Structure 1
Amino acid sequence: MKKYLGLSCLLLLVGCSNYGQLKVIANIPEEFKEVSGLVSTAQNSVWLIEDKGNKDELYKIDSKGNWLKTLKVKNGKNHDWEDLSKDKAGNVYIGDFGNNSSDRDDLEILKVPNPDNEKGDDIEAEKIEFSYPEQTDFSPKKKELLYDAESLFYWKNSLYIITKNRAKPFTGEALIYKVPATKGKYKAELVGSFMAGTDERTSRITSAAISPDEKTIVLISNGMLWSFTNFKADNFTQGTVKTIDLGVRTQLESVCFITNNTLYLADEYHKKTGGNLYIYTLN
């Protein structure tokens, strides 16, 4: 009996360690294997997207993982959708800026009205097109793979984009850009950078979010979370920074706030792991 009890405890510990500090609240419907962005526009539900190779659609699920609604995004092809954000009016922004090889010249953010108010099966998008002024080579060498991005948040009428460093050798630096949150074509403004670390797996930024009271910004990677408070300028990294090891090493791709200190996170299905909706509370 002691032998079996010990084995059960071991299995329990192993299972818990897979998710570290994150608590699973739901399994994401198995149709969505590559969730790349989350945004909460109402209580007890989120909208999500999938990345490159998937449909041009927004999906709504509740906090129990039930699939509630699908909206086809008109005037917005999914080249590589990587994150979601929202503004105070409830408009939702889709970051179509996945750029693994730093070779895209068609980067954009799609702006759609509050999807909770749509009665039909589709939603119209406006385009916010942009480029990185610092990028002059669209077939760069490995050391210059600096212009992929998977992270987006809205703050003070602007959209902030945080790049995902793919340079080899890896440098760990994430660049912070901003563009206006209105339809148009822009050169993104470089406002700062963030040294996430030297480990490629845990130092590549995969999503961003800002709290409803706009006092906390978070970035995540596959296992780490950074919170920024007491910031005043565009370069929010100059505020107070706290680094948190979430103790999970699944492919975390999405984060959003549901209260000023509570987060939802999601990971992709990968080798029979992930595909979960998690909750985490900031101390």
Structure 2
Amino acid sequence: MLFLLRDKLFPVLVFLQSVICGCAQDEGRGDFSQVRQDYVVRQIGKMSKTVLVESSGFAPADDFGDLWTHGDGGTDASLYKVTPQGDLLQTLNLSPLVNIDWEDLTRDDEGRLYIGDFGNNQNKRRNLAIYRLSGSNLRQIDTIRFRYPDQRDFPPRKDERNFDCEAFYYRQDSLYLFTKNRGKGHWVKMYALPARPGYHVATLLDSIKINTWITAAALSPDSRTVALLGYGHIYLIERQPGHRLFDGAKSCLPVPTSGQAEALAFLDNNSFVFSNEKGRIYQATKKPVLPTNKEPK
């Protein structure tokens, strides 16, 4: 009973901490500057619970802003195509796949979808998988299985449990994963995997200190900006070719009224959508830079 109570209260405590502490300052890697004034954030829709109890991932479905989404672990092994307002357009049943713990969704340049079945709350799973859906009707399913190179015990000691994952994105034939640290500290680890079927050992690329759980990730269409979704904040990191991701300029957008949010996708280079556990869909749009009226001297 105590463990159940702890699991229910811990996300609340993490969310409160993220709101109180604000954007994290990482030692030696630069600060996250707040960009609240640079964005307009508004609710644009809501998904009905008769369709989906909890949206756990987003990926673009077409050029009209529609989205693919899915439920959390234990729900139907289906994808749902919805409008930005949350209206259901299509249900794609993927049985005999099983939704052990689907946590995020991403799409590659050829329109293939990747489902991250890598939720690992207890840090003891040995069957981590990513499903790649392709073909005109997304019915061809291939499996990417993997393990983390630095995990030796299943599960590790409680203070070392940093092998849960709820966030990833695709770029140039690779998948990039970000951990949800359930151990000591607030370190988020970044791994890479080949985006092809088979069994792979992930490559540990980088880590950074962020003061909340990371629950989704997305890459902008121009590949310049990585967005990481946390409780109460969205962290934005500018990619710099030839450098590790977390060396880039970092900012964060506070979204304290969104609650527990777990799905995120870019609509274009200046706007993205995210949803919370109650099905509310929000859009964040970067304000245009207005020209100055100053005359040259």
> Whose relative contact order is higher, 1 or 2, with alpha carbons under 8 Å and at least 6 apart?
2
**Common fold: TM-score over 0.5:** yes
Match for 2:91: what amino acid? T
Out of 93, 101, 104, the position equivalent to 2:122 is: 101
Matches within 5 A, 1:42-61: 42=62, 43-61=64-82
4+ residue runs of structure 1 moved beyond 6 angstroms?
none
Partner of residue 221, structure 2: 212
Partner of residue 158, structure 2: 142
2: CA distance, partners of 1:59 / 1:209: 18
2: CA distance, partners of 1:92 / 1:282: 27
Partner of residue 232, structure 2: 223
2: CA distance, partners of 1:84 / 1:194: 22
> Counterpart of 1:248 in 2: which secondary structure?
helix
Following superposition, the deviation at residue 235 of structure 1 comes to 3.0
Following superposition, the deviation at residue 21 of structure 1 comes to 6.0
Partner of residue 235, structure 1: 244
> Deviation per CA, 1:185-229, whole angstroms, max 9, x where unpaired?
0000000012112xxxxx110000001111111001111111111
Q: Is the 8 A contact 1:75 1:124 kept in 2?
A: no
Partner of residue 278, structure 1: 282
Partner of residue 168, structure 2: 152
> Counterpart of 1:258 in 2: which secondary structure?
strand
Partner of residue 272, structure 1: none
Partner of residue 29, structure 1: 48
Matches within 5 A, 1:153-232: 153-167=169-183, 170-197=184-211, 203-232=212-241
Taking a change above 3 Å as real, the CA distance of residues 28 and 253 of structure 1, as seen in their structure-2 partners, is: same
Q: Is the 8 A contact 2:40 2:286 kept in 1?
A: no
Name structure 1 gaps, 5 residues minimum: 1-19, 198-202, 270-274
Following superposition, the deviation at residue 22 of structure 1 comes to 3.1
Name structure 2 gaps, 5 residues minimum: 1-38, 288-297
Taking a change above 3 Å as real, the CA distance of residues 131 and 75 of structure 1, as seen in their structure-2 partners, is: farther
Task: Provide the identity percentage.
Answer: 32
1:128 aligns with 2:144: yes
Partner of residue 250, structure 1: 259
> Counterpart of 1:22 in 2: which secondary structure?
strand
Match for 1:255: what amino acid? L
> Counterpart of 2:188 in 1: which secondary structure?
strand
Name the TM-score, length of structure 2 as normaliser: 0.79
Number of aligned positions between the proteins: 247
Name the TM-score, length of structure 1 as normaliser: 0.83
Match for 1:247: what amino acid? P
1:113 aligns with 2:134: yes
Q: Is the 8 A contact 1:103 1:139 kept in 2?
A: yes
Match for 2:213: what amino acid? R
> Counterpart of 1:133 in 2: which secondary structure?
coil
Following superposition, the deviation at residue 113 of structure 1 comes to 1.6
RMSD after superposition: 1.7
Partner of residue 88, structure 1: 109
> Deviation per CA, 1:165-204, whole angstroms, max 9, x where unpaired?
011xx4010110010001110000000012112xxxxx11
Matches within 5 A, 1:61-80: 61-74=82-95, 76-80=97-101
